[in-house]
Amino acid sequence: MVTIITDGRENSSKNFRADTIRDLIKQKESENWVITYMGAHGNIEEEASILALSQKKTMCFDKGSRGFDELLEKELIARKKYMKSWSAKDKTAFNKNKEAYFEE
């Protein structure tokens, strides 16, 4: 599992471009990795789309410590649900959680 957290649009990376990251995400997802994306800006859907991430694996949060604390609480709930389904014998819930990580 990989979680990407950003406070805004990527604009100064010298090592990676969006297409490089998108290709890496696609590769890892094909290997059953779960990649989630959380951002503190209003265009998170656009950014996720550029990286080929499902909207069901993204979450937007308000900048500042309060918004970040709320984000961490929601992420912890989602991660616990994911891990519980991962360890279950019946993988139906796991497969659903893998595709819709933040959905309740």
38-53 residue pLDDT tens: 888 777 888 888 888 8
Contact present, 19 and 51 (Cβ < 8 Å) = no
**Total number of domains constituting the chain:** 1
| pLDDT value of position 104 | 67
Is residue 104, in this structure, part of any structural domain at all? no
79 is in which domain, residue-wise?
A: 2-99
Is residue 11, in this structure, part of any structural domain at all? yes
Is residue 63, in this structure, part of any structural domain at all? yes
Is residue 49, in this structure, part of any structural domain at all? yes
Is residue 24, in this structure, part of any structural domain at all? yes
pTM over 0.85: no
Q: Provide, for the chain, the percentages of residues in helix, strand and coil under a 3-state DSSP scheme, each rounded to the nearest 5.
A: 50, 10, 35
Is residue 50, in this structure, part of any structural domain at all? yes
